[in-house]
Amino acid sequence: MPFIGNKPTAVPLTSADIQDGTIGIADLSATGTKDSTTFLRGDNTFNTPSVASLSTASGSAPSYSARAWVNFNGTGTVAIRESGNVSSITDNGAGNYTVNFTTAMPDANYSAIGINDYFGVTTASSYLTTSVSIGTTNHSATGVDCATISVAVFR
């Protein structure tokens, strides 16, 4: 029987039993393929997570992940700071932008929400599978460019 420290591996180990205080993948006798796309389950099996397991939590009120999100500069030359599933932003004029998706939505029945650094309003319209239009206005409903605009899409 193989040993780690002074105990056989079939006996539960503590960090005190391991000389350097860690248990590495090489110390485990798990089944399956270990790589950057798998995780080690409690039953000592390497497994690949399914999209379904990552998209929604269990329970009576599930939690859904954003299908796309972006934080961008809407002034001057529009520029994405960070994003997920957003390929580009189109500047259509003062306070009028199009958020273009890298991977299309399955349909146009999604929710898009936005917020900006100006004390105005962010609205979404023209829901397409490949993009959504975003507008930022002041309290007089006049389009205004904003230095920071964040948009999240849920489906």
How confident is the model over 21-77, as pLDDT tens digits?
666 656 666 777 777 677 777 777 777 776 666 555 566 666 678 999 999 999 999
Please state, rounded to an integer, the average pLDDT across all residues of the chain.
82
- Non-local (6+) Cβ contacts of 24 within 8 A are none
Q: If DSSP codes are grouped into helix, strand and coil, which group holds residue 42?
A: coil
Q: What share of the chain is helix, strand, coil (3-state, %, to 5)?
A: 5, 40, 50
